[in-house]
Amino acid sequence: MNFDFSDEQKMLREQARKFLSGKRTTQSARRILEGTGGYDRELWKDVAEMGWLGTAIPEAYGGLGLGPLELCVIAEEMGRALAPLPFSSTVYLFTEAVLLAATEGQKRKYLPSLARGELIGTFARVERAGAAAPKSIRTSFRSGKLSGRKIAVSDGMDADVGVVLARSGDEPGERGLCLAIADLSGAGVSRRVEDSIDPSRKHAEITFDGAPAEPLGAPGEGWRIAATVLDRAAVLTAFEQIGGADVCLATATEYAKTRYAFARPIGSYQAIKHKLADMYVNNELARSNAYYGAWALHTASAELPLAAAAARVSATQAFDYAAKEMIQIHGGIGFTWEADCHLFYRRSRELALGLGAQRSWKDRVVSELETRNTA
């Protein structure tokens, strides 16, 4: 049994943690939250220099040529650091989509500059509130031109390029869907920043009006590719969520040890202890589910859809509980603008919704279980 990261991967984790903790990323996240800028440009350069943006990009395309396990390790540290970077949009979504579905020419075109941090990417899927089901996708991609409107696009203001889910054919439902890569600073694209619950990562509305774009993958395959991209991103995001949830647990625990009420540390009251114990249990269950997701990614297992959905649900629940109870344990001070609690509370919800809500991932878990039990 070898269900753990390797010593090299653990060294990478240590290195990443040390590096990020030296960058005062939480303060930086607060600056982005309070300002108009989309991300910490200084930190983005550093992260590119460390090679992290190309972690899973093959060496032939300028990446480090490591695998998804190393990316999981870095994702967890990004989550701990609350790093205000377009990392997940660029790395888990755009880069993964290119690795999964692009032509050789497209890989040569995009991957090296992605690895160097010269290109920021995102994935524009959603068009309206509610579930992002195939029939909700109206944006069209015909004769190389995109038209339509996408909302709640993570890092959409800063992304140079975006993978766009669009309708290319007349077939109804998912069979008419395709993916296209658009230059988001090019002609026919307009965008505006949207107000969001977590402005430490800016969201954008992007409107395409006959914007030139190139297909990614075959027509009719858009939904299927998107689902796989989301599965892969769900595992990586689960590690981010666990990183965040662990910081909430550690911060709330530390506060409970040092904050006195009624002449004793509040951490000596069972009402507080039991919350923190539950937080610990949730985090460990989420970690174990995420490990399984990492294994499924690493081995390209047919288990990936179930492993990813379970990792996603488990990590979402863990971060949600940890972030809200961290505020509760801090009491009034935890609800002030100056305390960092709300940064995690906001991020927990942003990550919980970013790849689609828990409800749909839970349904995915059961659908996958059903296919296994019919045999």
Partner 1 sequence: MDFEDTPEEAAFREQVRQWIHTNAPTQASGGDVLGERGGGEWFRQQRAWQAKKAEAGYAKITWPKEFGGLGGTPIQQVIFNQEEARGGIGGNTPFAIGLGMCIPTLMAYCGKEILGRYVKPALYGEEIWCQLFSEPAGGSDVAGLRTRAERDGQDWIVNGQKIWTTGAQFSDYGLLLTRTDFNAPKHKGLTMFYLSMKSAGVEVKPIRQASGASGFNEVFFSDVRIPDSQRVGEIGQGWQVALTTLMHERLAVGGGQGGGLDVPQLLALARELELEDGPAIRNASVREKIADWYVRSAGLKYTTYRTMTALSRGQQPGPEASIAKLVVAAKLQELSAFALELEGEAGALKGADAPMHGAFQMGWMAAPGLRIAGGTDEILRNVIAERVLGLPQDVRLDKDVPFNQLPSGR
Q: Which of 154, 4, 119 is nearest to 73 (CA)?
A: 4
Q: For residue 16, with 0-12 CB atoms within 10 Å meaning exposed, 13-18 middle and 19 or more buried, which class applies? A: buried
Least distance from C-beta 273 to partner 1, angstroms? 4
d(CA 311, CA 314): 5
Judged by CB under 8 A, the chain residues 299 through 328 that form the site for partner 1 are: 299, 309-310, 313-314, 317
Q: CB nearer to partner 1: give 224 or 298.
A: 298
Q: Which residue in 116, 280, 353, 356 binds partner 1 (CB under 8 A)?
A: 280
Which among 178-186, 250-258, 323-331, 346-354 is the span making contact with partner 1, rule CB under 8 A? 250-258
Q: Which is nearer to partner 1, 295 or 345 (CB)?
A: 295
Q: How far is the CB of 322 from partner 1 (least distance, A)?
A: 13
Assigned token pair, 6:
């390797």
Q: How many CB atoms lie within 10 A of CB 300?
A: 9
Work out whether 273 is an interface residue with partner 1 (CB under 8 A).
Answer: yes
Size of the site for partner 1 (CB under 8 A): 51
Identify the residue among 143, 187, 373, 375 touching partner 1 (CB under 8 A): 373
214-244: burial string, b at 16+ Cβ within 10 Å, e else = bbbbebebbbbbbebbbbbbbbbbbbbbbbb
Site for partner 1 contains 261 (CB under 8 A): no
CA–CA distance, 296 with 357 (Å, rounded to integer): 22
Place of tokens 């595992």: 235
Mask for 42-81, x = binds partner 1 (CB under 8 A): ---------------------------x------------
Q: Are 344 and 327 in contact (CB under 8 A)?
A: no
Distance CA 283, CA 243 (A): 9
Q: Which residues bind partner 1 (CB under 8 A)?
A: 1-6, 69, 249, 253, 256-257, 264-265, 267-270, 272-274, 276-278, 280-281, 284-289, 291-292, 294-295, 298-299, 309-310, 313-314, 317, 359, 361-363, 365-366, 369-370, 373
